[in-house]
Amino acid sequence: MDGFKAKYGYDLGPAQDWKQYRDIAEWFNRPDQGLYGTALQGKRHEALWYEWLNFLYSFGGDMLEVKSGSECGPVIVNSPQAIAATEYYKSLMAFSPPDTLNYFWDDVMALMQQGKVAELIMWNDATYAVAVDENVSTVVGKMGFDIVPQGEGGKVAQVEGWSYLIPMASKNKEAAYLFIQWMLEYEQQLNQHLNGGASARPDVYASAEVQKLPYAKASMASNEVAKPKPTIPQASEMTDILVRELSSYLAGEKEAKAALDESAKEISALLGACAPMKYPVQ
C-alpha cells in the first residue's frame, strides 16, 4: 500500500473512477508472478458486449437515445463518449492475460477464483462462486466489492432480468403459474439468493442474512442506479452487430471509431425510420 501511494499519490482502495481502475491494474500486473491486473472478456461472444456496456454507460454513452429499453430512438453508439469508452476498454488489454481474446465470463471468473487477477468487472450471480463457495474458490474471505467505477455518466450499472416464463404451448399453464407464484415467495427467494442466485425482491436484499454476504452492499448500490438495455424485438441483432465490431477492434482489424460507425450504420438500418444516426458518418 505504501508503494502504491508513493507511485500514484493516493491510498490504495476500490477504484472510484477509471483512472484509479487503470492505476490498480497497472500496479498489480505481474505476469512473471502469474498475476494480472485485470482480465477482459474479449472473445467474440455476447459476454464481450455485456462487459463493454459497463464502460459505455459509465463514460456517458449508450446505444440509443431513449428513456426506456422498450423505445426506439436515435442511434448514438458512435458518440464521442462511446468511442472514448471503447478505447479505454481496449487499453486494459495491457494488464490482462495474453489470451484475453479467448475469454468469456466463465474464463475470467475462473482466473479470479484462482487468485490470478487483481480486479475485474463481475456479474452479481458470479460473485457467490468467487467470494463465498470454498469448494470452487481460493479467494474466499479475500475479496471486496464495489459499484462499477464512475466516468462522465456518473454512478451507473446494468440491470438484467432473471425471468420465470410460461410457454404458450404449455400443457400445464396453471401448474406453471402456481409454481412461479410459490417460487417468488419470500422464503424461496431468500434461499435462492443465499445460495448464489439473485432475487427480484427488495425485501430479500434487506435481509440480515443477505447483508452478511460480502457483495450485498455493492449489489444494492448497483440496483439503485441500474440502467435497462434495449428490449425491442431487434435487440439481439443489435447485440450481434456490436459483438462483431467490438471483436474486430480488439483484434486490431479496425479503429474504435470505424467499428462503432459501422455499428451505428447497421443498427440504424435495422431499426429504420425511428432510429436515425445522431452522429452520421460517410
Q: At residue 260, does pLDDT exceed 80?
A: yes
pLDDT tens, 80-137? 999 999 999 999 999 999 999 999 999 999 999 999 999 999 888 889 999 999 999 9
pLDDT tens, 31-64? 999 999 999 999 999 999 999 999 999 999 999 9
Give the model's pLDDT for residue 46: 96
Q: In the listed set 188, 206, 227, which residue is the last one of a domain according to the structure?
A: 227
For residues 212 and 182, state if they share a domain: yes
Q: How many domains does the chain have?
A: 2
Q: At residue 147, does pLDDT exceed 90?
A: yes
For residues 33 and 50, state if they share a domain: yes
254 domain-assigned? yes
Contact of 92 with 25, CB cutoff 8 Å: yes
For residues 177 and 215, state if they share a domain: yes
Phi, psi (rounded to 5 degrees) for 211:
-65, -20
Give the model's pLDDT for residue 177: 97
Q: How far from the centroid of its chain's Cα atoms is residue 90's Cα?
A: 15
- Cell 427467494 found at: 189
Mean pLDDT (the chain, rounded) = 95
Q: Which of 193, 195, 196 is nearest to 185 (CA)?
A: 193
Q: At residue 162, does pLDDT exceed 90?
A: no
- Cα gap 227→54, rounded to integer Å: 10
For residues 80 and 192, state if they share a domain: no
Q: Is 179 left (phi over 0), alpha (psi -120 to 50) or beta?
A: alpha
Q: Say which amino acid occupies 276.
A: P
Percent helix, percent strand, percent coil in the chain, to nearest 5:
50, 5, 45
Q: Which of 120, 96, 101 is nearest to 31 (CA)?
A: 96
Q: Which of 40, 39, 43 is nearest to 101 (CA)?
A: 43
Q: How far from the centroid of its chain's Cα atoms is residue 152's Cα?
A: 17
pLDDT mean over 159-169: 86
Give the model's pLDDT for residue 228: 85
Contact of 214 with 143, CB cutoff 8 Å: yes
Q: At residue 198, does pLDDT exceed 90?
A: no
* Residue 64, helix vs strand vs coil: strand
Q: How confident is the model at residue 152 (pLDDT cuts 50, 70, 90)?
A: very high
Q: 10 Å Cβ neighbour count for 40?
A: 23
Say what the pTM is.
0.93
- Cα gap 275→1, rounded to integer Å: 49
Give the model's pLDDT for residue 43: 97
For residues 109 and 196, state if they share a domain: no
Q: At residue 282, does pLDDT exceed 80?
A: no
Q: In the listed set 189, 209, 227, which residue is the last one of a domain according to the structure?
A: 227
Helical (H) or strand (E) element with 157: strand 157-159
